[in-house]
Structure 1
Amino acid sequence: MESGGSGGGGPPGDRRPPKDVRALLHMCMEVQNEDKKEQENVAQPMPEERRQWLENAITDLTFSPVERMKACLQILTSPDSDDKKIIAAIEETAEWCETIDFASDFYKIGGYPVIKVLLKHKTPEVRWRTLDLIAILVQNHPFCQVKALEENWLTLMLDILDKDEDPNVKIKALYAISCLSRDNVEAQKIFERHDGFSVLMRAMQTDIEKLRIKAAFMLSALCAKRPDFKDVMCDTGMIDQLVGVLSEEHNSFHEHNLSALLAIVTDHQRAIEECQRPELELEKKLQERIKFLKDKDEFREESHYAKELLRIISTDDDELQR
């Protein structure tokens, strides 16, 4: 995503209006440097195009961010807007909403109902950029989190994560779900009530490696914040799923998979007993994995998780003494 106000090396007219004085000064310096190169250090009057651009940039600074977001909403709701205009409007809105006060204003000017429409857009990029906007709106923002839950965004995003066919949309859906629920107890309750753990499990069963890793990371984070969720994970067969991954050909996801499994069994007797079920052969798999990873520094973290997990679940007295 572009940073506000810096338009890169294009002509002045292509630059996005600056959001603050710092951005304006940065843009002025860019223009000045370009002028120096063009004029080869020969003192000349500022070209009319440059002068007009600078005047417009200063005028743009007086624009209200709320008015800019309203203009974006008009684009997002207009039947005449093509995908390019819609994506640009979402991007600009996201830039404004990175400031907490403006994120609140986006709700107050009626932006939230538009989000629901965009989540069903036919173009995948529109959908994933909308999910990215949701993540920006709700991250560390209690007011926006409450309003998002009132709008039923969490259940909509769980459905998108589970059913959308585009990998980027799935990844951004999981990211937005995490931003909304990781520190919000009410969101966590809704996540559990709408079978969010089964959705996470299915995300880890896809062939989208980035999605699998993010799902395992969220699983670990939920275990740390809500130890009571560990019983739910036992009930939903999450342990069987995670242990089953160890039978796959070794890949980068295995480190995160073992981390999630370790998070579940830590200080949870029922999960430990689940891992000790003979049919899972988890002890044997961990011993084989530890041997496979020996002296491979690039897998140090994974080896640590395997050893710690084996220590916790081992029924072998000799193993416990190692």
Structure 2
Amino acid sequence: MSASGGGDDQRESRIPNNMQGLVQFCIEQGTACDNPDGVVSGMSAERREWLESALDNMSTNPVSRMKEALVKLNQPDDEDNENLTDEKIAALEEMIEWCENIDLAIDFHKIGGYEVLAKQFENSEAEVRWNSLELLGVLVQNNPYCQEAALKHELLPLVLGIIDNDSNATVRIKALYAISCLCRDVPDAQKVFVDNDGFSVVMRAMQSDVEKLKIKAAFMLSCLCNDNPEYKDIMCNIGMIDQLVGHLQEEHSSYHEHLMSALLTIVRDHPRACEECHRHELNLISTLNDRIEFLKGKEEFQEEREYATELLNILQDQDSSDVAR
């Protein structure tokens, strides 16, 4: 009995009473399990690092970490602190990870995060600006609470201004991403977007020489017109069809697939857009025939060819209907 009791006492004395002790205990137990024959070897550095990181995360309070990050972001630029920009970027990247959880995204608003976030849109460092916009996109995506909060804080008009005015291409791309996350399937956000002439902003973005920005702009147009067909009239009013056709008549690029998709979305089930496409000066039917022939046999452009074929059929069907009348 005494021997058994001694063993129990020894095991009890090894039970860790703090996190550091728990890490060491797990390391020892893992080593023992990996070496059942009693040949003890050290745990690899990679395994030790992973275990320590996992246990550290278990003891982390996300809201407290976000509060600390917001304090860091709120610090004014300081020439004496050369690391401040890097620290702000790291804080934003950490919050992006936390806020992928919907509940933590809501907590971010409740601790005053939106006021601090809006200030970062004007930071002199582009990487701070684009990480801030990335965070906004993560916050509002599929999150009605955060969508409403972003509208109350009037963030959408601010971000539209960034698309028009920021000199950094990545910042503009992230701004369009954030707006897309906020507006898709959200009527209240779309109303603010329209009231602030958002479609004109997107149209100007498509005139840039940044291909990724143009692709995102075309994709967003398609999504919004699918959400609400009434927006197709706005497309006609602002000359969007002229612009899309004009771009399609430029030297062919992979970007044209997205342009063709956007134009097809506007024209589908919309007589006024069809009429616009028939204007003689656009020469669209000839352009579509040439494009379909050009893409024949090019598997990488199969979707664009299908879009062009459907668009051509719609326009030709309307011609037939007009003749019949």
**Fold conserved (TM > 0.5)?**
yes
Q: What CA distance in whole angstroms lies between the structure 2 residues aligned with 1:52 and 1:256?
A: 45
Q: Determine helix, strand or coil for the equivalent of 2:269.
A: coil
What's the offset of the Cα at 1:296?
A: 1.8
Q: What CA distance in whole angstroms lies between the structure 2 residues aligned with 1:55 and 1:281?
A: 66
What's the offset of the Cα at 1:78?
A: 2.1
What's the offset of the Cα at 1:254?
A: 0.8
The match for 1:68 is 65
Identical aligned residues as a percent: 55
Match among 81, 84, 87 for residue 82 of structure 1: 84
Q: Determine helix, strand or coil for the equivalent of 1:199.
A: helix
Q: What CA distance in whole angstroms lies between the structure 1 residues aligned with 2:201 and 2:48?
A: 56
- Return the letter of the residue paired with 1:276: H
The match for 1:261 is 263
Q: What CA distance in whole angstroms lies between the structure 2 residues aligned with 1:95 and 1:312?
A: 45
Q: Determine helix, strand or coil for the equivalent of 1:120.
A: coil
Q: What CA distance in whole angstroms lies between the structure 2 residues aligned with 1:207 and 1:118?
A: 26
What's the offset of the Cα at 1:116?
A: 1.1
TM-score if structure 1 supplies the norm length? 0.82
What's the offset of the Cα at 1:292?
A: 1.2
Q: Determine helix, strand or coil for the equivalent of 2:122.
A: coil
Q: What CA distance in whole angstroms lies between the structure 1 residues aligned with 2:186 and 2:117?
A: 21
Larger radius of gyration: 2
Q: 1:193-232 maps to which residues of 2 (within 5 A)?
A: 193-232=195-234
Q: What CA distance in whole angstroms lies between the structure 2 residues aligned with 1:45 and 1:272?
A: 73
Q: Determine helix, strand or coil for the equivalent of 1:183.
A: coil
Q: What CA distance in whole angstroms lies between the structure 1 residues aligned with 2:43 and 2:288?
A: 71
Deviations 1:291-318 (A, max 9, x none): 111222221111111111111112655x
* C-alpha distance 192-257 of structure 1, shift in aligned 2 (>3 A): same
Moved over 3 A (4+): 44-47, 50-60
The match for 2:172 is 170
What's the offset of the Cα at 1:125?
A: 0.5
Q: Determine helix, strand or coil for the equivalent of 2:185.
A: coil
What's the offset of the Cα at 1:51?
A: 8.4
Q: Determine helix, strand or coil for the equivalent of 1:85.
A: helix
- Return the letter of the residue paired with 1:70: K
TM-score if structure 2 supplies the norm length? 0.81
Q: What CA distance in whole angstroms lies between the structure 1 residues aligned with 2:157 and 2:42?
A: 60
Q: What CA distance in whole angstroms lies between the structure 1 residues aligned with 2:194 and 2:143?
A: 21
What's the offset of the Cα at 1:61?
A: 2.2
The match for 1:43 is 40
Deviations 1:119-177 (A, max 9, x none): 00000000000000001100000000001011111111111011111110011001000
Q: 1:1-322 maps to which residues of 2 (within 5 A)?
A: 43=40, 58=55, 61-79=58-76, 82-314=84-316, 317=320
- The number of aligned residues is 285
What's the offset of the Cα at 1:64?
A: 1.7
Q: What CA distance in whole angstroms lies between the structure 2 residues aligned with 1:151 and 1:217?
A: 26
Deviations 1:256-295 (A, max 9, x none): 1010000000000100011111111111111111111122
Q: Determine helix, strand or coil for the equivalent of 1:216.
A: helix
What's the offset of the Cα at 1:56?
A: 8.4
Q: What CA distance in whole angstroms lies between the structure 2 residues aligned with 1:44 and 1:239?
A: 70
* C-alpha distance 241-53 of structure 1, shift in aligned 2 (>3 A): closer
- Return the letter of the residue paired with 1:65: P
- Between 1:76-85 and 1:217-226, the stretch displaced more is 76-85
- Return the letter of the residue paired with 1:95: E
Tell me how large the CA RMSD over aligned residues is: 2.8
Deviations 1:22-58 (A, max 9, x none): xx99xx89xx79xx9xxxx9515779xx989967864
- Between 1:267-276 and 1:287-296, the stretch displaced more is 287-296
- Return the letter of the residue paired with 2:191: K
Q: What CA distance in whole angstroms lies between the structure 2 residues aligned with 1:265 and 1:52?
A: 57
- Return the letter of the residue paired with 1:118: Q
* C-alpha distance 310-61 of structure 1, shift in aligned 2 (>3 A): same
**Which runs of 5 or more residues in structure 1 are unaligned?**
1-23
